[in-house]
Amino acid sequence: MPTTLPRPDPSRLFNVDCKLSYTLLDDTHFLFLVHALDGMDQVVVEESLRLTPAVEHELHADAVFGHRTLRLKATAGPLTLRYRARVRLQRPLPDRRAKEVPIEALPHEVLPDLMPTRYCESDRLASAASKMFGTMEPGYARVQAVCDWIHEHIDYRVGSSNTTTTACDVFLQRSGVCRDFAHLGVAFCRALNIPARLAVGYARFDTPPPDFHAVFEAFVGGRWELFDPSGLADPQDLVRIAVGRDAGDVAFATLFGPVRTRLIRPEVEQVRSRRARR
């Protein structure tokens, strides 16, 4: 563990405005992950949720990470969700000289993040990862090299992947979207014995439309560092919703029923002020 923590990024404020709209063809049970995480390296200053029509709902906080799942059951017809929040990020600057932690020194709670998961088959990519990145100097820079490789060799192409697409698929087909890029990053890292996991949240893209964003975290230098191999947004500006082992754990919406999606518009903007500028 580092004896001195990196200097925190001057705290900054972001406004989140997320609107989701559906037409339910029958009673449907929903799990939403749209609430900004209140913990880790950010604080929810204020927030509001509006469901139209008003339906009963519950909010469950994850025991480990604290992210909050909204559960509800709605009846056939339209359903609109609007979540707004003001969130303060207090994220330390990345430590680009961080070293990797040897296996035997890894905290026990990060060991599961070395294992292969549905979308990150690090076991099947072990040999390729070893050949491509195995001889590099371990540390932050090696994870950055993984990201650079992905950014250079995988095409960002909407529609080139679907909900069953895995890191191996992406490695073969050389195209995907942000979650596919992040899954491949996670898989390569785990294959190199670097604990890694998915992080999802709100990010502002240079090119519209707004969408939920997925990046990944690698455990280097004794803490979790954010990486975005898609290069779509600065991970320092990600307003976290949740972290998980892969996209299966942290989908923004899981639906049990026949539903037509009408609108997905998760917007975020930094609040520019004298106090909270970057």
Q: List contacts with a copy of itself (CB under 8 A).
A: 29, 31, 58, 60, 63-64, 69, 71, 73, 103-104, 108-109, 111-112, 115-118, 121, 123-125, 127-128, 131, 153, 155, 163-164, 168, 171-175, 193, 248-249, 256
| Torsion angles phi and psi, residue 16, rounded to 5 | -105, 135
In the complex, the smallest distance separating the C-beta of residue 95 from a copy of itself, rounded to whole angstroms, is 24
Largest CA-CA distance found in the chain, in angstroms, rounded: 57
* Nearest approach, Cβ of residue 10 and a copy of itself (Å): 34
Torsion of CA 39, 69, 219, 145, to 10 degrees: -120
Residue 146 CB, nearest approach to a copy of itself (Å): 16
Quick one: 49 or 128, whose CB is closer to a copy of itself? Answer: 128
- Nearer to a copy of itself (CB atom), residue 42 or residue 122: 122
CA–CA separation, 253 vs 175, rounded Å?
24
Cα–Cα distance for residue pair 86/37, rounded to 1 Å:
11
Closest separation in Å from C-beta 111 to a copy of itself: 7
Q: Residue 246 is encoded by which pair of tokens? A: 């892969």
Nearer to a copy of itself (CB atom), residue 121 or residue 217: 121
DSSP 74-86: E-SEEEEEEEEEE
Taking the complex as a whole, the smallest distance from the CB of residue 110 to a copy of itself amounts, in Å, to 12
d(CA 105, CA 83): 41
Select 116 or 229, whichever has its Cβ closest to a copy of itself: 116
- DSSP annotation of 236 reads G
Nearer to a copy of itself, 144 or 166 (CB): 166
- Which one, 84 or 124, has the nearer CB to a copy of itself? 124
Could you tell me the smallest distance in angstroms from the CB atom of residue 88 to a copy of itself? 27
Place of tokens 């975020």: 268
Which run of H or of E encompasses 108? none
Length of the chain, please?
278
